[in-house]
Amino acid sequence: MEPLASKIRPKTLKEFVGQEHLVGEGKPLNVAIKQKHLFSFIFWGPPGSGKTTLAKIYAHSLNAKLYELSAVSAGKDDIRKIINEDTKGYPKVLFLDEIHRFNKSQQDFLLPYVERGDISLIGATTENPSFEVIPPLLSRCRVFVLSELSDENMLEIIARIGFKMDKKAREWLVAMANGDARQAITMLENASSLYGKITIDSLKDTLQSKFLRYDKKGEEHYNTISAFIKSMRASQPDAALYYLARMIDAGEDPKFIARRMVVFASEDIGIVQPTALVVANDVFRAVEIIGLPECGINLAHGVVYLCQAKKNRSAYNAFVLATEDVKKYGNLPVPLILRNPETKLMKNLNYGKGYDKYSKEDYLPERLKGRKYLVK
């Protein structure tokens, strides 16, 4: 049985909801369709934002033969079949879903066909294509970034389906779908099929648990940990706790979170409050001993402490500057006064001569004398 999301899929740009920056009047995809411009491009955006629908609309509008493959299961043989098929003069458009799942060898195989124009490629990905698509292939594709659908977009899509529900159920559905139209439509279809009516309770029973868009190897993982660290840096415990809860709920390894907190204690708090490192290490130890779910309490405790601590990056900044000089100048000679005179020859060469434990003399290599890294 064909899913509802497929049945009601828009066939034209006029029916499409959202992504006005791409499909609005005078915008790139709208112009390309009107001018029948055939080219390769990649849709980068979250699930349910319209990538597949726009690919179908584009290919149909250009009277092209559309081939749909998933990079999860497709291989080189599938590409060969498409290339060898006779379309009687109609252009070939390959929609490759989850293109980031194609490995380098597969992308290298696809490249010459795209270069020669044997096929026009439409890639779809939820991951940053600059990390996941090989540069030669990426350079031959335009990247279109799709945004999460807005609440207004979601309400319009839900209204078009025609299911009866009250305002609270609509608002709950929009909040839970998180800009994913496909998820919202699927939830409505399942709730209607199972319970015969759409209410908050029937939707909750259908969903059971909220779907969080979070891939521990994907961009959303890095976005969330970045938001977590930056919230602690800005001394915003509410925001930091929210991103902490998001990571835990999505299945992030709590030890990964704790390790980032240990680094943060030295990088962002440092010498102004040395106990921060002690607390962060104790949190990491607690996470190792306690485990989930209770170690979330330990993490929250540590997060609030680190948020409220004074911030000082002077030690970290000094280390960065020293590292830059190491990379710039290489292994500069260590001053003789600091060298260890382990042999008679070394002593004769004045290794360690005049060394004083508490000397105020500049111990940096000769070329760096007077250099200041630590700014208190």
> Range(s) for CATH 1.20.272.10 in the chain?
219-308
- Please tell us whether the domain made up of 4-145 is placed in CATH 3.40.50.300: yes
- Is pLDDT above 70 for 257? yes
Query: 131-149: buried (b, 16+ CB within 10 Å) or exposed (e) per residue?
Result: ebbbeebbeebeebebbbb
User: Which is nearest to 99 in space by CA: 119, 77, 136, 72?
Assistant: 72
Mean pLDDT of the chain, nearest integer: 90
| Distance of alpha carbon 201 from alpha carbon 222, whole angstroms | 34
pLDDT the model gives residue 214: 56
pLDDT 10s digits, 129-167? 888 899 999 999 999 999 989 999 999 999 888 888 888
**pLDDT tier at 220 (50, 70, 90 boundaries)?**
confident
What is 219-308's CATH number? 1.20.272.10
Class of domain 151-207: mainly alpha
pLDDT 10s digits, 86-107? 989 899 999 999 998 888 899 9
Paired tokens of 93: 């458009």
Name the strand (E) or helix (H) holding 53: helix 51-61
Average pLDDT over residues 15-42: 94
pLDDT 10s digits, 311-340? 999 999 999 999 999 999 888 999 999 999
User: Which is nearest to 46 in space by CA: 186, 220, 174?
Assistant: 220
Listing DSSP states for 65-102 in one string gives EEEEEETTT--HHHHHHHHHS--TTPPEEEEEETGGGS
| Distance of alpha carbon 36 from alpha carbon 60, whole angstroms | 11
> Range(s) for CATH 1.10.8.60 in the chain?
151-207
| Distance of alpha carbon 284 from alpha carbon 274, whole angstroms | 16
Give the global pTM: 0.62
**pLDDT tier at 209 (50, 70, 90 boundaries)?**
very low
User: Which is nearest to 193 in space by CA: 182, 208, 183, 203?
Assistant: 203
> Range(s) for CATH 3.40.50.300 in the chain?
4-145
Average pLDDT over residues 345-372: 91
